[in-house]
Amino acid sequence: MNQNSQLNGDADRSDTRPILIIPYMWIGDFVRNHTVVRVLKERWPNRPVDLLTTSLCAPLVDYMPGVRAGIVWDLPRGRLAVGRQLALAKLLREQNYGTALVLPRTWKAAIAPALAGIPERVGFVGEFRFGLINRWRWGEKKLPRFIDKNAALAQPDGAPLPPEWPVPQLRVPAEDIVRWRQTNGLSGGAAVALAPGSVGVSKRWTYYPEAARLLAERGLEVWVVGGPAEKGLAQEIAAAGGPGVRDLTGNDLRNGVLAMAAAGVAISNDSGLMHIAAALGTPTMGIFGPTSPYLWAPLNGLAATLVQGKEVLSCQPCQSTVCKMNDHRCMRNIAASEVVEIAQRVLGEAGAKAEN
């Protein structure tokens, strides 16, 4: 019996009713959600698990072990969209779900599962959801981390938190990586993937152009990975780094997944791509300034956690999306040369491990 079985009790193999998870839809949070899937599958190995997903996050579902399907449904932010909610409820009703885990605390997230008549609708008390959630959980504010709040909903009510949660997993077939490299005209050697984007400018390390140049000067292949919002930044980094630096930003998150799977090491801000790289098993270096690694680093662990240590900053971590004091020193105090030296060490360790 493994650790999760010990925590959840003996697995119930007799229950075969499908389960729907309503997750948070930010990329990093969506990856974290795979921990919830793993806890559910340990508890109910014969219950299919589906995820509600946006078009943006949908590619991630294809690489998540234990997930039967993604229900792709884009609901607009900032308004109810009654027609869309009713149509989603109709779709969910046809799937005959026995249980829905509603991870967000918003009432909007609970509407469609309730309209669909899903018998068990599990969620924390929050935002006037009486009648929409019928399996209430209490004590969310006492749980220390975001993953604790989410994964606790997959456990029996009142069960203690485990010492460790199962980590998120993303699995990409090797042939997909080979095909992706060929399509993009890339060599088969180890490359450094840079992920300079993030939600909130304060989480963005500003020395990626210099780091790209230093990495390229040492003969390393460098890829800049991100979405459309990072295109301008990627072009700036590629221009600074020279011909050894490739702009691989694109519109499809699948491209980012494949790039991170193919890379020898990933260097990332606190962002969705950091969680993707870590869940893939790619050695990942996370750069943290305004956010806490304890709260927001991947459960998978990082090859290196970079936090400035040059001076004591009373504002760090501030959790703010925009720096309001100290001129962003929590990020500017992390030198490009330091990051590059660590990246070379991580690459060397990964290469030695692969040879053994």
Q: In this predicted model, what pLDDT tens digit does every residue of 193-205 receive, in sequence order?
A: 999 999 888 899 9
Regions of the chain where pLDDT drops below 70: 1-10, 356
Contact 51, 72 (CB under 8 A): no
Q: Where are the alpha helices (DSSP H) in 218-271?
A: 231-241, 253-262
Contact 332, 201 (CB under 8 A): no
The CA distance from 81 to 71, in Å, is 18
Q: What local confidence, expressed as pLDDT, does residue 10 receive?
A: 57
Same fold, 3-154 and 177-355: yes
CATH class of 3-154: alpha beta
Q: What local confidence, expressed as pLDDT, does residue 329 receive?
A: 87
- According to CATH, the topology of domain 177-355 is Rossmann fold (3.40.50)
Q: What local confidence, expressed as pLDDT, does residue 321 receive?
A: 79
Structure-token match 């998870």, residue found: 21
Q: pTM of the entire structure? A: 0.93
Structure tokens at 157: 């009510």
Q: What local confidence, expressed as pLDDT, does residue 332 receive?
A: 92
In the chain, domain spans: 3-154, 177-355
